[in-house]
A and B are shown apart, each in its own frame.
Chain A
Amino acid sequence: MFPGDPRQPTAAKPYVHPVMNPVDLPPDYSSLLAVMFGVVGVMLRNKAGSWLALIFCVQSFVNMKNVETDLKQVVMALTFAVMGMVTNYLGPASKA
């Protein structure tokens, strides 16, 4: 539509990955839910809570993008979920 070769090799700029401030990132709802359910599972000795926490942990791991590798919340959620599992299944007050 317009004449000439539009390419300009001299003007080529290599890609610069945008720096993301961790504060600006969209909130990771699945890890938030995982932490909530994990706390529920541990505190209230709720098996379903612990399992749900585990599932949401897996979801947040899966949805993690390269740009935002903020593992702290996910690892915290995972810790809660595992603690919940241990308490519910192997703890002294567990129902068999």
Chain B
Amino acid sequence: MGRSGRGEIHRWVGSLLRFDRLSWWLVVLAVLALLGQEIVRTSGLVVAVSAEFEGFGDELEEIEEDLGEPFVVPPPVLKEPGFQNDRGPPSEVEDDDETVDLKSDGISTPSSPSGLVKDSEVKKVQEFWDEDEFEGLPEETAEELIVTPPRETSPAGSKQSTPTAAAAATKKQVVPKGPQTYYIEAVSILFLIAYITVYFVGRKRNEKLALAWAAQFACKDGVFDKNFSLLGTGDGVDSPLLMKEGQNVFKFYASGRRYCEGLLATMDFQSRHDLIALIWYMISPRKDEMTVDVFMNEDSMDSLVFAVARRKNAKTMHKERADLLQYASIINVTNRKWLSEELTAISESREVATDLMTDALLEQVFGEKAFEKFASHFISMHFTDQSPYGAHRKVLQFKFTIPSEDRMAEMSRLISTVTYFIDAVGRYKLSPQTRLKAENARAKVAQEAFKENQGARHEALLRKKEERRKALEEAEAAKLSPEFMRKREEKERARQLKKAMPKIKMTRAH
């Protein structure tokens, strides 16, 4: 039952093996296989292959143009015969034939060594050339290759028209054959490498923090060990204490104590494993948070709604939580020692607030002086018997921030308030008047909810009635064969009689 790394993997594999997931993975595999095929196929002979596709092989030999050359990958190779000789266009035609023949033989080997040499020659020769003299030249056609391979599909007689425009503009682009720069690819790959590195580093850091917390509070002789008999989620003795739900979410469960059914501490760390999230934190940072939920027994907690939060968050908390909004209001206590100025109490009744916030507590944790010293990690605290979240209604919820691993002990007072409040609320009994008030308030809310539900239920009933009516009408309309029905009924009666008959006979035989 423990959610260790192995558990994660098991669930993953289990989900994979479900059929629809399997088909998804097959789709992905198919795509990747195609990808691999493409890569292998197009590794050396990109253009030659595309030329085959475009059916150029024969056309080139027919048309006395330089279009044969574009279809060989390295343009310098093509130019080699042309540049070397510095002949006019007619002679180049001959060379084109040569290159066409070369091409048909299988280009790479004969041309590549000379091609390498010709790179520099190409550049030199370009300087000597007069652009206007030579139209329809290899370099122009090579540009065609670079710019729009499909354009070469329509060469018929347009020898002059296509190159001139491209020639002047992209003459220099002839030499490099691929895209100019690989910025996007480089940046993306670097980002991915960084991402993967951050993943492993961040994950480890989060795990360290979680383990540090557990070592401080959840291990032998820690607070939780002294208070709960069952720690962790597993069954055996060696079961892990913490449950890893995500790379930044860890859960700790404890059970076996008076007044409560169990306690669930959820650690929600920053997403240190996600580079994009880290970049986001530069704009809007957040802290590592811990939420402790204590599920109280039905008979251990009276009807009370009470919360304490930092002054700045109190109003939003009051509005956000449905039960606070419905039952409670912000409380100001001035006639006695009260919470630090940083804190605000929200409660259904003043009595509850003052009773729960005892002097001792104020002195040690929540009062003026103690708060800064001991409770700096406090975020909020919320006791309710009408919890809007989850199935369990009677819940005590505490929120703290988590300090770094070497300062874990700073939280210890706050953690001990958790256990203190379990007992305090478990024993606490409302005075009769307060209880009456509370019960009335809840009854009112329940009635309103019921009315709303009734409205919805009424509509549902009406709908069902209509459906039944329609069904009946259809049955009546389908009185096409009432005789058929009668015959069937007669048959059934006959069958039943037959069944009855032999029995009687047998008994008579007795």
Q: Which residues of A contact B (CB under 8 A)?
A: 1-2, 6-15, 18, 30, 47-48, 51, 54-55, 58-59, 62-67, 69, 71-72, 75, 78-79, 82-83, 85-86, 90, 92-93, 95-96
- Give A67's nearest chain B residue, CB to CB: B245
- Give B225's nearest chain A residue, CB to CB: A7
Q: Is A86 touching B38 in the complex (CB atoms < 8 A)?
A: yes
Can you name 12 A-B pairs with beta carbons within 8 Å?
A6-B257, A6-B422, A7-B229, A13-B255, A14-B233, A15-B262, A51-B188, A65-B246, A75-B28, A82-B35, A83-B31, A93-B150
Q: Is A71 touching B423 in the complex (CB atoms < 8 A)?
A: no
A12 to B192, CA, bound (A): 46
Residue numbers in A under 8 Å from B21 (CB-CB): 71
Instruction: Flag the segment in B268-276, B326-334, B435-443 that touches A.
Output: B268-276
Q: Is A72 touching B24 in the complex (CB atoms < 8 A)?
A: yes
A48 to B186, CA, bound (A): 11
B50 CB-CB contact with A under 8 Å: yes
A90 to B37, CA, bound (A): 11
A12 to B229, CA, bound (A): 7
Residue numbers in B under 8 Å from A54 (CB-CB): 188, 192
- Give B35's nearest chain A residue, CB to CB: A86
Residue numbers in A under 8 Å from B274 (CB-CB): 59, 62-63
Q: Is B35 touching A11 in the complex (CB atoms < 8 A)?
A: no
Q: Is B423 touching A1 in the complex (CB atoms < 8 A)?
A: yes
Interface residues of B in 262-302 (CB under 8 A from A): 262, 264, 271, 273-274, 276-277
| Known contacts A62-B273, A69-B15, A86-B38; A11/B184 CB under 8 A | no
A49 to B119, CA, bound (A): 35
Q: Is A11 touching B257 in the complex (CB atoms < 8 A)?
A: yes
A64 to B258, CA, bound (A): 36
Residue numbers in B under 8 Å from A82 (CB-CB): 28, 31-32, 35
Among A6, A30, A65, max chain B CB count under 10 A is at A6
A82 to B38, CA, bound (A): 13
A28 to B255, CA, bound (A): 32
A51 to B3, CA, bound (A): 34
Q: Is A8 touching B15 in the complex (CB atoms < 8 A)?
A: no
| Known contacts A55-B188, A75-B28, A90-B42; A18/B390 CB under 8 A | yes
- Give B15's nearest chain A residue, CB to CB: A69
B39 CB-CB contact with A under 8 Å: yes
A59 to B27, CA, bound (A): 21
- Give A85's nearest chain B residue, CB to CB: B35
Residue numbers in A under 8 Å from B185 (CB-CB): 47, 51
B247 CB-CB contact with A under 8 Å: yes
Residue numbers in A under 8 Å from B444 (CB-CB): none
Minimum CB–CB distance from A73 to chain B (whole Å) comes to 11
Pick from B42, B184, B235, B253: contact of A47, CB below 8 A: B184
Q: Is B184 touching A92 in the complex (CB atoms < 8 A)?
A: no
- Give A95's nearest chain B residue, CB to CB: B179
| Known contacts A12-B256, A96-B146; A55/B195 CB under 8 A | yes
Residue numbers in A under 8 Å from B177 (CB-CB): 96
Q: Is A90 touching B35 in the complex (CB atoms < 8 A)?
A: yes
Residue numbers in B under 8 Å from A78 (CB-CB): 28
Q: Is A64 touching B246 in the complex (CB atoms < 8 A)?
A: yes
B230 CB-CB contact with A under 8 Å: yes
Pick from B188, B246, B247, B253: contact of A15, CB below 8 A: B253
Q: Is A62 touching B199 in the complex (CB atoms < 8 A)?
A: yes
Residue numbers in A under 8 Å from B42 (CB-CB): 90
A12 to B263, CA, bound (A): 11
A96 to B199, CA, bound (A): 34
Residue numbers in B under 8 Å from A64 (CB-CB): 246
Pick from B32, B53, B179, B390: contact of A92, CB below 8 A: B53
Q: Is B38 touching A90 in the complex (CB atoms < 8 A)?
A: yes
Pick from A7, A14, A79: contact of B227, CB below 8 A: A7
Per-residue CB contact flags for chain B residues 7-33 toward chain A (1 = under 8 Å, else 0) read 110011001000001001101100110
Per-residue CB contact flags for chain B residues 411-422 toward chain A (1 = under 8 Å, else 0) read 000000001101
| Known contacts A55-B191, A86-B31; A14/B235 CB under 8 A | yes
Pick from B179, B233, B261, B391: contact of A11, CB below 8 A: B261
- Give B203's nearest chain A residue, CB to CB: A62
A11 to B195, CA, bound (A): 46
- Beyond A59-B274, A66-B3, 10 additional contacts (C-beta under 8 Å) are A6-B258, A7-B227, A14-B1, A14-B230, A30-B276, A51-B188, A58-B195, A69-B15, A79-B31, A86-B34
